[in-house]
Amino acid sequence: MSGNFQLDGAIVPFEPGQTVMQAALTAWRYIPHLCYHPEFKPHGSCKLCTVRVNGRTAASCTMPAKQDSTWKATSGN
């Protein structure tokens, strides 16, 4: 079963097991990143891919995509 979440106002589809980063890149939505590489296990050490959801921050390369969640990657500053 696939799902959708919002990233900076855009609907992003995802497949089960995908992280926020994987789903965003598949949908051509860019989240800045440094240590993420699709061939390596994500570890979130650089924190450059940090996104915000429900007032909390998380590394998008390690956070599983969740149905109907709303993520913000841009700070607006």
39 occurs within a structural domain: yes
Distance CA 64, CA 77 (A): 26
In a domain, 62, yes or no: yes
Dump pLDDT digits (tens) for 36-67: 888 988 888 899 999 998 888 999 999 999 99
Judge whether residue 75 has pLDDT over 70: no
Could you list the residue range(s) of the whole structural domain that residue 39 is in? 3-71
Domains: count for the chain = 1
Q: Is residue 76 in some structural domain?
A: no
CATH number assigned to the domain comprising residue 18: 3.10.20.740
Q: What is the DSSP letter of 76?
A: -
Confidence of residue 1 (pLDDT cuts 50, 70, 90): low
pLDDT at 57: 92
77 is a domain residue: no
